[in-house]
Structure 1
Amino acid sequence: MRGAGAWTRLPRLWSLVIGITFLVVLAAAGIAVGISLRSDEQRDAAPASILPDHDCVALIGPEPWITLHANSEPQYCVVVAEFQSVQVWNKGMEPMTVDWPDGERQVAVDDHFDTGPIGEVLQVGPNEIAAAPFVMPTIWLLAESLSPTSGIEATDDGFGPVRVGMTLDEASAELGLRLETVEPVPGPNRWIAAVHGDPYSPTFLSEGSGDGTSVIVEILLHGPHR
């Protein structure tokens, strides 16, 4: 399989036209999914075998993001992969300061900083990062060896046993892992799906109602899978 920058395209049934929205980005590096953090939201828990006693959401893609815009403490954490370069955005009404491990970052309103490959800065496991006036979530760095998709190889026409044209339910059954839709993308009934709780997951672009009957039309590989 040939790589293309930070991601690899696999054969698809038809082209998807992906625009830029606040929560979904298709750039030269590929599709990424981030999270906008608010203290009044709850997220599904990641698998207990990986993150016991934490309500977390996995960030997907090579350049996902965290958007801070509430000054009360979030009730959950985010799970990141070692290869990901995370964008930390300030969408509040005043400048923020982040005590990042490699140096303090001053972030103006409606601006961000890039972490670079986050595995080169954070330690495996939970990382507590001080910030003001907003509160950063716990950032849980998941070791590649603990990824549910670790050891699954990409093929010329799919990812492990998964092929374009399968439904998300069919792909889940083949992988033995739960694929779930993460975000809608521009266009009618189009979605990003990923393996639940796994920041190393490929991005499965699908079309349909957003449930398990949605059909995979393209697979984008990231990090160690490409």
Structure 2
Amino acid sequence: MMKMPKIDTRTLRASFIIAGMLSFAITILVITNHTSDIFSSYKLELIYYLSMFSICLIGVIPLGTIVYILFLFFDNPSYQTAIHIFARKKCEQRANKNAPYIASYLSCFLYEVIKKNDIVDIPVSDTSINYSGYAIRKNSVIYRFIIPVADMPDVDEYNLQKILQNTVIGQLNHYGITGLSSVYQDTTTIVPSVYIDRILYSEEKHLVAVDVLYICTSKDLLYYQNAVRESNNKNKAERTVYDDEV
């Protein structure tokens, strides 16, 4: 036999208070919109008002029950998770509406940056940089590009990320980026529009993954500023020399 859920008296009370307020508001709205000329006497008008308020009181019961059921529905963790996932998907759809368009230009730009930088030492062609998709990190769209290589670069991922980012800035300053803006600007800040967020090596698959942020919203700007701040703090920590190490 199915067990009935325990009634939460506090939620039930709140549900019927909300239902009462809604019923009263609807009743007042109906009354204020009626035309008093249709009544031939005050007695009929009084009967009309009493009838409307009676309907209001009777309507509290079904309306309160509906509100209580809605409270229980949204209080269920599984439903909350489903709603959260649905809302996240909708946000991602809005954020990624222009993703294919932006990714195609970023792919060409990344090719130009790597091709012109001998320090990177990654052999590329115009077809070897493959767009593999995007990820949402802190409400920003991060584009991932995969580059097949025979051997891993001599520098590690972190230093390669810094080298590439410096080259990106130079490329943006001198030549810009085809099809996209080379800077993001708001009322107080102007920054390069392309940021190399992370680089990952896969020695087993002989691949280099490059994660790229294209800064085109205030959320992207915030992500970029936090990433640069974390990178600067890491550099300071690496340069710190303690007395017992001298």
- Same-fold call, TM cutoff 0.5: no
Greater strand share, 1 or 2?
1
Query: Which TM-score band applies after superposition, normalised by the shorter structure?
Result: under 0.3
- TM-score of the superposed pair, with normalisation by structure 2: 0.22
* Larger of the two Rg values belongs to structure: 2
- TM-score of the superposed pair, with normalisation by structure 1: 0.23
Higher relative contact order (CA 8 A, sep 6+): 1
